[in-house]
Amino acid sequence: MEKEAKIYVAGHRGMVGSAIVRELEKQGYHNIITRTHKELDLTNQAAVNDFFEAEKPEYVFLAAAKVGGIVANKEALADFMYENMILEMNVIHAAWKNGCQKLEFLGSSCIYPRMAPQPIREDSLLTSELEETNEAYALAKISGLKYCEYLNRQYGTDYISVMPTNLYGKNDNYHPTHSHVLPALIRRFHEAKETGATTVTCWGDGSPLREFLYVDDLANLCIFLMNHYSGNETVNAGTGKELTIKELTEIVAEVIGYTGNIEWDTSKPNGTPRKLLDVSKSAQLGWQYQTELKEGIQLAYEDFLTNPMRAER
């Protein structure tokens, strides 16, 4: 991408989109286009077409999505599938119709089969069944990346996709029930510390293995791939390192300064037992993550404390 190129970041107010905007500005890109949901409803096909016809962005980062944790996904299966599929199809199609040079689609590691061989390679996609608790979201994301692939194959476009592992960092969602595991733990332990609670109860049994990537590292990879990668197969984004949820809770408690007991509610679901991405592809391309987990959690906690709007939603 040329420094003066017109770049549209869809979903710039979200955790990933805002990180991409920060990284673009850091690297000297200055012609960045954004629209709030109020200004542009990405589920409105006519509005999206009008926007692309008027602005003609040369590059698009598609980071907009309806997201949530296990509870949100399980309670709103139809909403997660419909809204994500509609908005991504509208943006990708409008980009193609209006001659966008390159588009990058942001997905999620939940697209991979529940019992995929670990670490999960990009070519394990669609080889077996998905995790039931986020199947609807996964199917929508798979559709988006496949549409990019099919446009490349049929029309010769240069549309790519990147599949991040579990993300965390600045501008995360700390909702008490509709957030992902790490921000949910940050809020829970912070509130326990503030109220002097002697016990914090966490879901499941603490055994699932997870990998976490700091969102600013993802943003750096996204721009790296836009400049250095073309291909139909997606690219995994992660650290290649994993830990148990139990180990994660202990790190979060340490960072926040909570010294009480941690108990486990085994009546609640664990989710996928293990989810570690094979990141050899991004490594071969020449990219490496920078932020270690404990440092990233400290940065995320600072953001939680200094962004009351984020902490309350």
**Active site amino acids:** 137
Nearby residues of 150 by Cβ (< 8 Å), 6 or more positions away: none
Torsion of CA 46, 52, 53, 56, to 10 degrees: 180
End-to-end distance of the chain based on CA atoms, in angstroms? 36
Torsion of CA 231, 234, 240, 244, to 10 degrees: 180
Coil, helix or strand for 30? Answer: coil
Coil, helix or strand for 236? Answer: strand
Instruction: Tell me the residue ranges of DSSP E strands in 4-106.
Output: 7-10, 32-33, 59-62, 102-106
Nearby residues of 24 by Cβ (< 8 Å), 6 or more positions away: 7, 9, 32, 223
Q: Quickly count: other Cβ atoms within 10 Å of residue 37's Cβ.
A: 12
Nearest to 295 by CA among 220, 217, 221, 233: 217
Q: What share of the chain is helix, strand, coil (3-state, %, to 5)?
A: 45, 15, 40
Amino acid at 194: E
Q: Given CA atoms 64, 131, 135, 123 in this order, what sign does their dihedral have?
A: positive
Coil, helix or strand for 173? Answer: coil
